[in-house]
Amino acid sequence: MNYFAVTGRITHEPELKTSASGTEYTNISIAVDRRKKDKDGNKQTDFVKATIFGKQAVLVTTFFKKGDGILVSGRCESDKYTDKNGVERIGWTLMAENVEFLPGKGKASSDGTAPEPTVLTGSDKDLPF
């Protein structure tokens, strides 16, 4: 089973793009904090690339901002490439199937409480595969 879910913060403003076939999508990076700190007591953070398609991409680019909390789940795809030094590498991208709002720096209500998570769903027709 290929299922992956991450919870974190968006690292840059989402930008809506359109593929050659007309599918709308956005690529985001999610900062995911590790549970344990390093040996010096510093917080460790991983950065996960995610691609979101169709109506979900439109909603994310409309309502999410840099720093907002997000939960993305779906499948992971690997991509082999050669870096600028000629070294072969493998990159991973989370191909989003579900996206949810989570508390983040931009999502607190006027009373300071975090909103309930909201699931952004699209139909299977929105997916390019």
DSSP 105: T
Which pLDDT value is given to residue 107?
47
Task: HSE, CB side, 13 Å, CA atoms: give it for residue 111.
Answer: 3
Residue 6's nearest CA partner among 102, 91, 72 is 72
Residue 68's nearest CA partner among 34, 118, 18 is 118
Which pLDDT value is given to residue 117?
47
How would you write the pLDDT of the chain (129 residues) with one tens digit per residue?
A: 999 999 999 999 999 999 999 999 999 999 999 999 989 999 999 999 999 999 999 999 999 999 999 999 999 999 999 999 999 999 999 999 999 988 755 544 444 444 454 555 555 555 554
Give me the residue spans of the domains in the chain. 4-34+44-126
Which pLDDT value is given to residue 111?
44
Determine the Cα–Cα distance for residues 61 and 15; give it in Å rounded to an integer.
6
Residue 126's nearest CA partner among 27, 26, 49, 25 is 25
pTM equals: 0.75
Domain 4-34+44-126 CATH (choose: 2.40.110.10, 3.30.70.360, 3.30.470.30, 2.40.50.140)? 2.40.50.140
Determine the Cα–Cα distance for residues 23 and 127; give it in Å rounded to an integer.
8
The owner of tokens 């789940």 is 73
Which pLDDT value is given to residue 123?
53
